[in-house]
Structure 1
Amino acid sequence: MSRADESRQERRRREGRALAVVTALLALAATVEWAVRTTAAPPTFQLGLLLCLLALAGTLPLALPRPDLSAAAVTLAVVLSLVPFHTLTGAGACAQLVALYRLGRSGAQPTAAVLALPLLALALSDPADTGTRVLTVLLAALAPTAAWAGAARRARDEALESSAARQVVVGTLLEHTARGERARIARELHDVVAHHISMISVQAETARLTTPGLPAAGAQRLSAIGDTARAALTEMRRLLGVLREDAGTDTAAAPAERRPQPGLGQLNDLLDDARDAAGTGTRLILRGLPDRLDPGVELAAYRIVQEALTNARRHAPGAAVDVELHYTDDSLRLRIRDNGPGPAPEPAVGGHGLLGMRERAAAVGGELHTGPAPGGGFLVETVLPTRSEAVR
């Protein structure tokens, strides 16, 4: 049973206990009021017993679990008290209003309207007793208000429950998306870093076996380097397995996902796909001298461009996009700009596209900024360190 269901049941139990207390108090008040009224002019025993039973019948049915049966029984007792005997207790009138409130809150507004009609007809009649006439008119005037108040409370509760359910669903989806995105970033970084660690291990082993006249201490150190690299690779793969389990991915399906990670060499294909999908212009602008970059930097740049193009298609359909790569001595500057309407107002709960891009940039030591572009549109700008010395 969910927490929301438990809360709903607990609320119903509290309301049931409160209704039982109100019913008992109204029944006691009706009995006392009837006794006080009949003190001055005692009726016959049979009439007194009948009036007492009608007074109780106008209050005790409030405890019935079904609001429609409860309201019908209370209304019938009120009508029988007014039509033949021209009498009505204040507790009975309060019980009638409570019954119509419960009926409106249960969602049976048409039934509440039907049960309010006899009260209106009785208010238009001319009871002999002035106090009864005033009480009847007040009851007829307040009956629709009671039913409307119950319906309004029901609508408010449903709106609150719906809002809480939406927040739970949105929170779950966002958490799942964030976990999946972090696991994918970790997997891709593993594939990039694993290549370098494997090369360290292979080169250390090759140097140990092929270097002539290598001292025993040097050979031992090269062997230790290879062992350390292999141990690091094993630990990295174990960590990747934990992240996959945390993200709910299927580790058995992981080998099918192993393929060369994309880089800036596949950027033209990505832009061609974006042109075909959006049917708009997408330009690639190169500045500086293109250089071979660290695979992790290339992967981060590719994914940032990919996500920016996806966001442009989603939030600015039909807008042209410029992708600019500016190579400098120590960094790669990326600018992805569209000529759409610009950023939308901040939603109550944002997505994870921009967050994923920032995490990718931060993972390789870069920074990413997003916002409205000068002159209109939306701009994604990032600076990634090239680390070209580590690749040469």
Structure 2
Amino acid sequence: MACVTRIGEWRWPAAGGCLAAAAVAEAVLRAGGPGSALPLALVLDVSATLPLVLLRGPAAAPGASGGSGGHGPAAAATITVAAVAASLLHRGAALAATAALLAVWAVLARRRVLRRRAAADAADASRRAVEHTLLEHTARGERARIARELHDVVAHHISMISVQAETARLAVPGMPADGAERLLAIGDTARTALTEMRRLLGVLREDAGGPDGAPDRRPQPGLQQLLDLIDEARDGSGAAARLIVSGPVAALDPGVELTAYRIVQEALTNARRHAPGAAVDVELAYTGEGLRLAVRDNGPGPAAPAVPGGHGLPGMRERVAAVGGELRTGAGPVGGFAVEAVLPAASPDAHRAAVPGAPAGTAR
């Protein structure tokens, strides 16, 4: 292979030397012997052929030293001018010069085609890489969204089943043993289902790799459904739960309302799971620029250290980040656990939608 490469590198120098020798013979023959025109004919014919040696290098590597990107254009220009002058001097086409002229421009044209083809191949490869990256990020974002919706919706209702089954088993006096065992089995099944769902969510989030960048715009619950959500939480756990609204109620983007609803839903689920029986306050404060949301309970507060593997708080952070807000979770000001979020009136690149609100200062 190396031998073939070296032969290719010396092909054009050899051709240039042979054509230069032929050009010398042609100049002597056509000049009619020694005379005043012979030196000029020799100079022109040699100048029209010998520059082919500058094309040294394989034609397939146009960017290499000595290729068309280096001395090739200069050699072509020299050969063209000298070939035209030699043809005029000989009053006819200079054969060796014409052969060199055709050769040099054929080489330059081929190398130009190869260079453009290589550039097109590189651009196509880059485009395919970008498309693959975008497709991968889109798929990861969709998996993250699915995981978040599974956690926020399905896990919430399964948790309610477990809590209600346990509450019914303990709160109903005189329940037959068979009924108590069935309720206990329902609670155990619900907890097993939650465990399996957390495992599935872990797989989805590992595949997703990170949060997606856009909130869902399909019709979904908003702030109008908060009262129903709090009533459901109160009936399921038997603990006190209030909704407190303050400030001038303003229209919020549907994506922001969905985010607020999911935060409250997840916070209530966490309160039932980690602080059963604790009272919960849900506060909505309209500030004119957006919404301040707080969910606080009077339970024992955050565990230390936190239990790893949960998906509720990461899902909250993803939702809040998607609409351009801020989230804080941790111990409440006077104990218990608090989830506080600051949400804008409209999420980025979203349309504004008017939402009827409850009167300010009401409490449930």
TM-score by length of 2: 0.46
TM-score by length of 1: 0.44
The structure, 1 or 2, with the larger RCO (C-alpha pairs under 8 Å, 6+ apart) is 2
Higher radius of gyration, 1 or 2 = 2
